[in-house]
Amino acid sequence: MRAEILSIGSEMTSGQNFDTNGPWLSRALAGLGIATAFRTTIGDDPEDNRQVFEIASRRADVVISTGGLGPTKDDLTREILAGLAGVPLEFHAESWRKIQETFAQRNRPCPERNRVQAMCPATGEMLENPRGTAPGLWMKLNRAHIACLPGPPREMHGMFDDEVVPRLTAAGLVRGVRIERRIHTFGQGESAVEERLGDITARGNDPEVGITASDAIITLRIFSAGSDEKAARARVAPIEAKIREVLGPLVFGADDETLAHVVLKELDRCRLSLSLAEGVTGGALALALSGEAWGGMRWFQGGMIALTSAAELWAGMQEPTRRAKGSEGEEAA
């Protein structure tokens, strides 16, 4: 089961805004056992959109788009899908009534141009949007079931849960769950970690194990599918155990645990406190530690950022050491 997510809007292709809908939908689909094979960001050009919808509808079982459903001239998703399906757009009086009601509830006049939002390809159906003015669309095109949702995340999230998931289920596209378990390591580079793991990260494994690097943190991502979450996690467990066995103390946490979080937990366990004197960091270490909101502040006392010679001496660095070894050496630390 393959999905493609289309994020529509020139504000994203120009770099003005970031696409947050795509990652959210990828995670939501994974929870339904549907793997996202492609994520595509498109501007507002009609021909580009036509090509992308045509390609996506032939290579994916599920296509979900966000954006392109507004009342302006560059919101053309309705027209493009009707053209690809070879059917006319039809006016939905009930959808128009709900759009007008939404404006009335906000004490605003409803512009006549918003009437276009009540148009739907003849072979599709409207998806109700109780949180905004733009209804969504649901239709079949080529091999794909297509759901078109508005761009604002607050509207899109609710419509996915309330309108899209029931239709995916009714179409027989929801097949268990697909989960991800992340194992975080620190102390060796990506290639060294992968070499130690051997065939664990080989392509084609099931469960699949991927490897990513970010700010010296190497993360192993274990993907598994099952009839339910319990079954999927049971398949992950032996792979995680093997990774921990091979990498030993390089592993410091899993899923949402950060290195700072683990440090504070260890301080908590040992009943130790920590104070810092930082130089050449801009306070990055203190920021990371103080950003953990679980209660570790009991053990992190605070610190100072020493950027000048006087401040370094005030922080406790001896003048002979500073002159001989500099402020960044091991002796200064």
Residue 294's pLDDT is 53
Q: Which residues of 300-317 are buried (b: 16+ CB within 10 A; e: fewer)?
A: beebbbbeeeeebeebeb
Q: Kindly report the number of other CB atoms within 10 A of residue 270's CB atom.
A: 9
DSSP states along 3-63:
EEEEEE-HHHHTTSS---HHHHHHHHHHTTT-EEEEEEEE-S-HHHHHHHHHHHHHH-SEE
CB hemisphere CA count around 177 (13 angstroms)? 14
pLDDT along the chain (333 residues), means of 10: 95 93 94 93 96 98 96 91 97 94 91 93 95 94 97 95 95 86 95 94 89 92 88 94 96 91 86 81 80 62 67 50 51 48
CB-based contact 278:250 (threshold 8 Å) = no
Ranges of each domain in the chain: 2-170, 179-254, 259-325
| Reported pTM | 0.69
pLDDT in tens, 285-305: 888 887 765 554 577 777 777
Identify the residue whose tokens are 């109780």.
Answer: 130
CB-based contact 53:68 (threshold 8 Å) = no
The superfamily (CATH) of domain 2-170 is MoaB/Mog-like domain (3.40.980.10)
Residue 4's pLDDT is 98
Domains 2-170 and 179-254 share a fold: no
CATH 3.30.70.2860 fits 179-254, yes or no: yes
Residue 282's pLDDT is 77
Residue 333's pLDDT is 47
pLDDT in tens, 110-125: 999 999 999 999 999 9
Residue 315's pLDDT is 47
Residue 313's pLDDT is 47
CATH number, domain 259-325, options 3.20.20.70, 3.50.50.60, 3.90.950.20, 3.40.50.300: 3.90.950.20
Residue 123's pLDDT is 97
Residue 307's pLDDT is 62
